[in-house]
Amino acid sequence: MDADIAQSKNDLGELYTATAAYDKAEPLLVEALAIRQKALPPDSPEIAETQQALGNLYQKTTHPKEAEAAFRSAVSIYGKTVGGEHPDYANALESLALCYEARKDYASAEPLLLRVLAIRQAAFGDNHRDVAVSYENLAALRRAQHNNGEAVAYYQRAIATWEKVIGPDAPDIAGDLNNLGAIYEFSDQKPKAEPLFLRAIALDEKNYGPESPEVGTDLNNLGLLYSLLKRYDESDKAFRRALAIRIKTYGDQDPAVAETMMSYANVLFALHRPEEANQMDKKARAVLSHQSVTVQR
């Protein structure tokens, strides 16, 4: 009975964490952990499961010390129970690594992420969802370390793996396309970004609809690329559509809207449309100023 109650509380707590109902998640997960610690041996996988769930909660609620302690406990328990070659151990190790990465402790995160990749490749082979996720994590780490060469290689591996696992039209691929495109966008290989952004737009339009927030982000990226390439007429079209989508999605007082407005204003200046440009710039600065005041309060 206690085992069923603890599992129900754990599962509901994880669901609340996933839906950002953090105030509801914490008491459930704490209760689940207390029940399991009382009823089970200290090195039980069930305890590790709840420790990892608590770590995820604390990570999302910016409690890094508590998150690290919970993840460390989960890693230790899984290492003693299922062993250091098991996917559950890899998942806990990945959570700990991402905890380190979030606080920019890249030296601690790197060997853990490489270890996670090795475990998953040994357990699943090269063509598996979890292997693709490991490539994404390593790509993000290399990008944060300003090692764009390796970041590009990992994103390319992630995309190729997703294509084999779930097909070339899967929505999971669009994020990697955007991230890879962004690396090229701010390098001396800018033209390589365009087909990546265009493919991301096509995927997100197909999977989420032409006015989805995802498409708005894709178009914002494409508009910025065209601006950097001085293809201002094309940039104008991309930013105009991105702005319409973002205003519809977030309202006209959102920082994402202001971001698009600022970039779009620069394009309008380049197109010799100063009145529209000044008006757009003024609106963007008003939004950002309001956001700054709100944060300070």
Q: Are residues 75 and 35 in the same domain?
A: yes
Is the residue at 40 inside a domain? yes
pTM value is 0.89
Q: Are residues 103 and 5 in the same domain?
A: yes
* Tens of pLDDT, residues 78-108: 999 999 999 999 999 999 999 999 999 999 9
3-state secondary structure 133-182: HHHHHHHHHHHHCCCHHHHHHHHHHHHHHHHHHHCCCCCHHHHHHHHHHH
Is the residue at 288 inside a domain? no
What integer pLDDT is reported at residue 13 of this predicted model? 96
Q: Are residues 60 and 154 in the same domain?
A: no
* Tens of pLDDT, residues 18-47: 999 999 999 999 999 999 999 999 999 999
Q: Are residues 41 and 147 in the same domain?
A: no
Is the residue at 43 inside a domain? yes
CATH, residue 109: 1.25.40.10
Checking phi first, is residue 62 left (phi over 0); if not, alpha (psi -120 to 50) or beta? left
Q: Could you tell me which residues come within 8 angstroms of residue 239 by beta carbon, excluding any fewer than 6 positions away?
A: 219, 220, 223, 260, 263, 264, 267
Is the residue at 190 inside a domain? no
* Confidence band for 289, pLDDT divided at 50, 70 and 90: confident
Q: Are residues 104 and 138 in the same domain?
A: no
Q: What is the mean pLDDT of residues 222-231?
A: 98
Q: For the chain, what is the domain count?
A: 2
Which residues span the domain enclosing 140? 129-167
What integer pLDDT is reported at residue 295 of this predicted model? 36
Q: Are residues 59 and 91 in the same domain?
A: yes
* Long-range Cβ contact pairs of 278-287 (< 8 A, separation 24 or more): 283/252, 283/258, 284/258, 284/259, 285/258, 287/252, 287/253, 287/254, 287/255, 287/257, 287/258, 287/261
Q: Are residues 20 and 36 in the same domain?
A: yes
In 3D space, the residue among 57, 49, 100 whose CA is nearest the CA of residue 75 turns out to be 49
Q: Which of 91, 124, 157 is the last residue of a domain?
A: 124
Q: Are residues 89 and 158 in the same domain?
A: no
